[in-house]
Structure 1
Amino acid sequence: MTLTNKKNQLLNESEEEPVQLDEVLSKLGAFGKHQLITMCMLALVYATNSIYNVNYVFAVEDVNYRCKVPECDSKDSSFSAPWLNLSSLDLETDGLKQCHQHPPLNNQCLVFNTSLTEKCTEWVYDVPNSFVAEFGLACNDWKATLVGSIHLFGSMVGQLIQGQISDRFGRKIAAVFAGTMGAVLGLTKSFTTSYWTYIVLEGLEAAIGDALSPMFMLSIEIVEKKRAILYQMILLNFYTCGQIIMPFIAWAVPYWRNFLRVIYAPTLIILFYSFFLDESIRWLFSKGKKEQGIRLIEKIAKRNNIKIERNLLNRLDYSEEDTSNKINDRKLLMKTFRSRIMMQRFLVCMVWWFTITLINYGMMISSVLISGNKYLNFALLIMMDIPANVLYWVALSKYKRKMPLIVSFIVGGVFCISQPFLPKGYAWLGLALFMMFEMLATFSYNIVYMYTSELFPTYTRNSMHSICSAVGRVGSLLAPQTPLLMTYWTGLPALIFGVSSLLSGALTLFMPETARTQLPDTIREAETIGKKKYKYDPASETLKGT
């Protein structure tokens, strides 16, 4: 048989070859009517979720207070003099924590009529209608910071919950449920009159009201893989814009109860996503719902005015686990963990997530501690995320996944470690490194979010992604404590950030490259990521690695 005959035979056989799902998704397009409608729905979740994750920074703002002096505060409960921006002294007397401020001795009207051994029972706040004032948290500063810690802990638990719901019941159901609960619990927080009730609602909202995880999975599964990066870059900029807008909302609506109502009310619309949002095609196929998945493909094609032949859909091939023994979701998850390769990836992903959450939340907390207008400082720092998002798209489109992540971790680590050793006269250089490191931290965060989702099979993808995120979020719990390390050495937090970043960069060397490969549907496919496969290319009459 001649080479030409062999070529023709291969071409004829290729017409009957199974078609991969990515090929069908590519025919549906990335920015048709269906995708644009879906993107608008996803954009709302991305933008509002970014606000909810850190709203406590402004809702539970730090305010000054002092012990009330009847002689001075009988007519006006506001601060009587600017010097009374009090720094409290906690004193242990008779087993009680006391809080007392010494005013200038030459101002008799402002001398306290309480002794150091007497506990203050009334307080004056510089913002009387603030969260701290309404719940009477004077001399209990730990109660204010507890709000943020509870939210971060709830987010960690929520990642585990949302991942399981998403993989078992679908991306759509998980997203609609979480988005609606987030709005309801968030609005309920604004009406509570009990501090501890607020704490419970804060934890619940973070645990069961975070719709970002299932929405992210839906966003990367709605288009072919090579388009997912561009799709994510656009959505990430909506996420960033939400955080940029948040401080200005807090500035315009300073009363914390009204602030919460303004930011949570828009997401009540997510309840109606039940009627307009479509399920992930990949998830439908992974659950053996091939006919339902094909009907959805035909619906999308019709909406986008694209013709897809039925013969193509009949040849659609989708690898899935053997479900003849009715393997449940828990067993599928355990099967993933029993794979040595999957476990190695899981451990590295945990280090990644610990590093990026520690650094990103640490940087965010630092931004409101910088002198100046805290609203503008926060917005300016977050604006660095926009070039980071664009760089994420450009770098991953050209340089795949692995190398950009290694470079960002290592360069960011070097920047961070070098900052404490800069000469004191070069404060501008320290600020420049701070801003550059923030951009690199966001860049790394974006890659890790995408990279993690491409390492595991479809039927446990959201679960594995959520577990990595949840375990890694221990870093976000430790981030608020990092400023305390400055009492030992001012550069210690930066040093820890830098070392963690360098370690993550080194571990990335052992991970496979996932770019330009199809999203794995089974453990076997996931394990072969990074291993070359060869396929006959009719155009060049050669075997090419894929």
Structure 2
Amino acid sequence: MLNGRVQEAEAILRYIAKKNGMTPPAVLFNDLELEDMKAKSKQSHSIIHLVKIRKVRAITIINFLMWMILSGVYFGLSLNTSNLHGDDYLNCFLSAAIEVPAYGAAWLFLRRFPRRFSLSGSFSLAGIVLFSIQLIPSNLSVISTVLVMIGKFGIASAFAIVYVYCAELYATTIRNMGVGMSTTASRVGSIISPYIFYLDTYHEFLPFILMGSLAMSSAIGVLFLPETVNVPLPDTIDQMQTMNGFKCRSNDRNHNQFNINETSGEANVVVSIKEEI
């Protein structure tokens, strides 16, 4: 609708109504709504809109830093597998296998818990265990390896959650740009990640202390982002500005619904579609 493709939008809405066993009105959009959508379809957006408005700029900056840290820690742990104590092949297998339950946990978090606390909790788990590795005696190397795997579990869960959460934060008009620029920022972390473990020349546990500290800082930074669970996805930048941090707004239990208000013989349809992962 925001791109002026009204006929396609109507076809989609009627298909949704059919699947939900409902009968939509003959007229889905009145003339006023069509004029409003036509005006919005003429608006163009560029990357500058990610930082032009204060609240959107804050979301973008936190996202960029979060993605860089996430990617740096994730690939840093992956590339450091060969430096762990024990058999290299077993460690490599465990490092890959731990991602299977991590993605399962991410799916459960997305289904049942708020986005912010799910992502912050995953970051916190990774940060705490990585920071705690320095407390393990050198003769208990197995425990250190276990903690690294738990850290990999937490950061892999966060990597799965962040894609969903980041897409829900941005309005439809700039969502592709927001997610695209965030993943581009994460490549900076990927580039830096191979060099993190060179810091062990200064202190044996300095790489883990650094990654644990960065993960904990991301866990705190996520809490300043708006909550998106059970909240209609924003379509415009103006709607993004109404999203508040430290607040979880509830929505109707039915994620797909038609609210029909009859006004002067015309029907206005409000469709709320919430995708669940």
TM-score range, shorter chain: 0.7 to 0.9
- Aligned partner of 1:521 in structure 2 is 235
> How large is the RMSD of aligned CA atoms in angstroms?
3.1
Mapped to 1, the partners of 2:151 and 2:172 lie a distance apart of 33
> Which residue is 1:295 aligned to?
11
Deviation at 1:338, TM superposition (A): 1.4
- Residue type of the partner of 1:323? K
Matched, 1:390 2:104: yes
One-letter code aligned to 2:210: I
Cα distance per residue 1:44-91 (max 9 Å; x no partner): xxxxxxxxxxxxxxxxxxxxxxxxxxxxxxxxxxxxxxxxxxxxxxxx
2:87 aligned with 1:372:
yes
Gaps of 5+ in 2: 253-277
Count of aligned residue pairs for this structure pair: 247
Q: Which residue pairs with 1:205 in the alignment?
A: none
Separation of aligned partners in 2, 1:498 and 1:508: 15
Provide the residue aligned with 2:135 in structure 1: 421
* 1:314 aligned counterpart, secondary structure: coil
- Distance in 2 (CA, whole Å) between partners of 1:521 and 1:444 is 25
Q: Secondary structure at the residue paired with 1:286?
A: coil
* Structure 2 residue aligned with 1:32: none
Cα distance change on mapping 1:456 and 1:486 into 2, 3 Å: same
Asked if the contact 1:414–1:498 (Cα under 8 Å) also holds between the matched residues in 2, the reply is: yes
* 1:399 shift after superposition: 2.2
Q: In the TM superposition, what are the counterparts of 1:327-346 in structure 2 within 5 Å?
A: 327-330=43-46, 333-346=47-60
Aligned with residue 323 of structure 1, among 15, 40, 50: 40
Structure 1 gaps of 5+ residues are 1-284, 537-546
1:507: which partner in 2?
Answer: 221
> Is the alpha carbon distance of 1:287 and 1:488 closer, same or farther for their aligned partners in structure 2, counting shifts above 3 Å?
same
Q: Distance in 2 between matches of 1:533 and 1:355?
A: 28
What amino acid is the match of 1:367?
Answer: T
Which 10-residue stretch deviates more, 310-319 or 438-447?
A: 310-319
Alpha-carbon contact 2:56-2:241 (below 8 Å) kept: yes
Deviations 1:285-309 (Å, cap 9, x if unpaired)?
331212113334556787xx66553
- The residue type paired with residue 287 of structure 1 is N
Confirm whether residue 359 of structure 1 aligns to residue 73 of structure 2.
yes
Change in 2 beyond 3 A, CA 1:354/1:521: same
User: Which residue identity does 1:494 align to in structure 2?
Assistant: F
Residue 312 and residue 372 in structure 1: after superposition, are their counterparts in 2 closer, same or farther (change >3 A)? farther
Which one has a bigger Cα radius of gyration?
Answer: 1
Q: Which residue of 2 aligns with 1:437?
A: 151
Structure 1 residue 512, shift from structure 2 partner: 1.5
Question: What's the CA shift string for 1:460-480, capped at 9, x where partnerless?
Answer: 101111112212321110111
Distance 1:491 1:312 in 2: 67
Match in the other structure for 1:272: none
> Are the counterparts in 2 of residues 451 and 514 from structure 1 also a CA contact under 8 Å?
yes
Task: Give how far 1:509 is off.
Answer: 2.4
Aligned CA distance change for structure 1 residues 315 and 417 (closer, same or farther; 3 Å): same
- Please name the residue that 1:106 is paired with: none
Distance change (3 Å), C-alpha of 1:534 and 1:469: closer
| Pairwise CA distance, 1:406 | 2.0
Task: Report percent identity of matched pairs.
Answer: 24
- For residues 457 and 393 of structure 1, the distance between their equivalents in structure 2, rounded to whole angstroms, comes to 23
CA contact (8 A) 1:320 1:522 kept: no
- Out of 333-342 and 307-316, give the one that drifted further: 307-316
* 1:479 paired residue number: 193
Residue identity matched to 2:57: M
Q: Does the 8 A contact of 1:352 with 1:448 survive in 2?
A: no
